[in-house]
Amino acid sequence: MLRESLQALYAVFACAAAGCLMALALLEWRAAKARAASAVALFGLLFVAASAGALLAQFGRPAMVFAAFANPGSAIFRELASIVLAFIAGAVYWLALFSGAKAATMRRLGSAAAFAGLVLALACGSSLVMSWRPAWNTWTLVLPSAGFAGLAAAAAVFAGEARSLGLGLAGSGAALSRIRAAEAAACGAGERSVGVHSSQVLFGALLPVLGIGCYFAALVLANGGAWAQRLTMLFSGEGALLFAGGTLGLGVVVPAIGLWLARGRVRQAAAGAALFWAALAFLAASMGAGCWHRAVLLLG
């Protein structure tokens, strides 16, 4: 039970980290303020570190970490390697932002961070792929994790734009001046209003649903119609709590509602409310990934 809980916690943190890193590319291409991108990057690094802690806690003995690196074909190796890649990409992006790099450079680094975030989400989903269990013997299991990360990224973009969180920007006056100079160069001196359209909310909410649908379809096609009946266990007892309540309700419906309430153009006076709903959507999407992780284990 403890190991399963740690696996679910790892999925939550990995999805949150992937969402933050994937959001950096969108923030760069939308010419968001440097303060917003800096906060999202720092939160991403924190979630990467948290996912590493949750993953390492599953080993029991530190020596097993080195054994995992000695087996490149294992899921644990993919998870550890993706965490290292995500941390390096996020750190390089934040340092470049801190040093006042050019906009073109930041766009490339943002795209690299987004790629690392996607790899992290896919690696998280691949930890469920096991050839000796029919329910887990399909690589479509990586799609729901990537979908939840994409939904979290949409929420992170809007949260970052809605308000400059200011995390990590209270350093020296020279450092703060560099960040503000980058803001002025990219966005101008004035405040700007941002928003999400209804189509963007719908697209983000559909990402994890499409991933789950692909997994269910692959499962039924590969194992016969009897598996269609077995999937009904996800709608009763513990399965209903984890799948219907946690995965779909908390992980899809709540983020969609949160982004819907925060949609439209946001005036500066309404930034706090928009940030609240976007942050709620981000947390709910990340927790939905953890619920999905646990729900899949019931099918083993």
With contact defined as beta carbons under 8 Å apart, do 15 and 148 qualify?
Answer: yes
CA 161 to chain centre: 17
CA 30 to chain centre: 19
Query: What was the pLDDT predicted at 282?
Result: 96
Query: What was the pLDDT predicted at 23?
Result: 93
Residue 202 CB neighbour total at 10 angstroms: 12
Could you tell me the residue range of the domain that residue 290 belongs to? 2-297
With contact defined as beta carbons under 8 Å apart, do 241 and 215 qualify?
Answer: no
Query: What was the pLDDT predicted at 126?
Result: 93
Query: What was the pLDDT predicted at 280?
Result: 94
Domain count of the fold of the chain: 1
Query: What was the pLDDT predicted at 27?
Result: 87
Q: How far apart are CA 126 and CA 65, in angstroms?
A: 18
With contact defined as beta carbons under 8 Å apart, do 190 and 115 qualify?
Answer: no
| CATH number of the CATH domain containing 129 | 1.20.1630
Find, among 26, 51, 64, 47, the residue nearest to 159 by Cα: 26
Find, among 68, 87, 88, the residue nearest to 78 by Cα: 68
Series of mean pLDDT values for 10-residue runs along the chain (300 residues): 83 97 89 80 96 86 66 83 96 91 90 97 92 84 95 90 49 47 48 53 86 89 70 77 92 92 59 85 96 86
Query: What was the pLDDT predicted at 232?
Result: 75
pTM score: 0.85
| DSSP H helices in 30-74 | 34-56, 63-69
With contact defined as beta carbons under 8 Å apart, do 162 and 271 qualify?
Answer: yes
CA 283 to chain centre: 9
